[in-house]
Amino acid sequence: MAMPKLAPQAPVAHDKLRALGILALNGMFDEMDALSVLRYAVSDVLPGDLAIVSSFGADSSVLLHLVAQVDPSMPVYFLETGKHFPETLAYVETLKKTLGLINVHAIHPNPDDVKRFDPNGDLWETDPDSCCHIRKTEPLEPITEQYGGWVTGRKRYQTKERGVLPHFELTSDDRIKVNPLAYFSDADVIEYRQKHNLPEHPLYAKGYKSIGCAPCTSVVAEGEDPRAGRWRGLNKKECGIHFDFNGAIASPMTAATRHTLWKDGAFIADPFHEWTEESTPATASYKHVPLPVFLANRDAFLATQHPLGLLIVPGDRVEDVEADLGRFASIAINFPAFSDGRGYSTARLLAERYKYAGEIRAVGDVLQDQIPHMRRCGFNALVVTHEPTRQALIENRLPEVALFYQPVGLTEVPVGTRPFLRRVS
């Protein structure tokens, strides 16, 4: 299954849907059967702008059978995390063939992210949220951006958290999630499968009632919540791609609360979380540890397997962690004020003297006039909350710096130009 080359496309305006209102829509379809919900979503709510994410798990055949009836060419995306049971991969092919689905695509994680954050393939064990992030959430994001809405196979009966799942949800990024099977019970799924003679997932008969990645899926005992076998023993219920669902209708997110990490020419989801007072070496995964805290607990931090970050503020000496720089996937340098230039020197030390090859990110008061200088000094990631600066980055209109009165690195000459701004593709 090859990744489709789809042209980037802005989500369509959901005028009709907005006019009706999600609540009214849910009211209208409360009593409607699953096929009618899907038909209406495809023909009237978001025509040509809906796709499906399927896990090709135990219950997937029902939703995919509905899709085949409504439109077998609807795009179906399968998150090929690299951690599936071989039986699931075989089941993908079986369902494609049996149902006549002609637009199924596998989405793979970015190999660089896997190499960087999960080199041994065991991140699921120590930090499943981060594992799901790099293997599911991140790869799915550029795909979801191409559609105005998604069809999911989630059902109310599956967990307590999904107990009030509606047919239609508005997600935090202003898209629509359609859940045609929301009201299906376990018995309905079985009955539907039998009635239409749908192939069963090869592991279902062995006691796997909800099937995801192999390391995070176990057999469910009689009477247990069907999803109890997912991330068993961990306080984790969803993989991250469904976090928008909060039991009610999510509020649209404002632009200011969208991604703030600018990297490789785009705002992207940030795998790092905030370091808090409660954080410890055991919970430091994907957090920027303040340098003094790292030094005070160095052995404990170095003993962990987590991907670590380091936070440097003015006054911290990067020389003090020289021997450990290779341990950090990302180093955040704080600019507490626009006028404070010490962060530039720190970045240059990292890039030029220590040849640090990881992420050097600027955080704090990051404004558009500083960005060309930051890039010259080695910053390759920026956390930007200042809205005009965000717009300038998105629209690729940052000031070029033509004259280098203080050249940096080995390639810059005192007077000259260099095209160091990346184009937004």
**Which is catalytic among the residues 68, 239, 284, 310?**
239
Residue 239 engages ligand SF4 in binding (rule: CB under 6 A): yes
| Exposed e or buried b per residue across 292-302, where buried means at least 16 C-beta atoms within 10 angstroms of its C-beta | ebbeeebeebe
Structure tokens at 136: 């599911």
Closest residue to ligand SF4 using C-beta atoms: 213
Nearer to ligand SF4 (CB atom), residue 143 or residue 239: 239
Nearer to ligand SF4 (CB atom), residue 136 or residue 375: 136
Q: List the x/- string, 66-105, binding to ligand SF4 by CB under 6 A.
A: ---------------x-x----------------------
Amino acid at position 137, single letter: T
Angle at 385 between CA 382 and CA 390, to 5 degrees: 75
User: From the centroid of its chain, how far is CA 181?
Assistant: 24
User: From the CB of 306, what's the least distance to ligand SF4, in Å?
Assistant: 14
Question: Can you state the angle between helices 86-99 and 60-70, rounded to 10 degrees?
Answer: 30
Cα-only R_g, the chain: 24
213 is in an annotated binding site: yes
User: From the CB of 235, what's the least distance to ligand SF4, in Å?
Assistant: 13
Residue 117 engages ligand SF4 in binding (rule: CB under 6 A): no
Nearer to ligand SF4 (CB atom), residue 182 or residue 213: 213
d(CA 114, CA 181): 33
Instruction: Classify burial at 97, counting beta carbons within 10 Å of its beta carbon; exposed 0-12, middle 13-18, buried 19 or more.
Output: exposed
Residue 212 engages ligand SF4 in binding (rule: CB under 6 A): yes
- Contact between residue 57 and residue 83 where contact means Cβ atoms under 8 Å apart: no
d(CA 346, CA 352): 10
User: From the CB of 126, what's the least distance to ligand SF4, in Å?
Assistant: 10
377 is in an annotated binding site: no
Query: What is the side-by-side order of every strand in the sheet holding 76-79?
Result: 104-107, 76-79, 50-54, 149-151, 176-178, 168-170
- Number of shown-chain residues binding ligand SF4 (CB under 6 A): 13
Out of 104, 132, 381, 392, point to the residue binding ligand SF4 (CB under 6 A): 132
Q: Is 377 designated active site?
A: no
Residue 128 engages ligand SF4 in binding (rule: CB under 6 A): yes
Which residues participate in the annotated binding site? 131-132, 213, 216
Active site residues: 239
Which residues participate in the annotated binding site for [4Fe-4S] cluster? 131-132, 213, 216
Which residues make up the interface to ligand SF4 (CB under 6 A)? 81, 83, 124, 128, 131-132, 135-136, 212-213, 215-216, 239
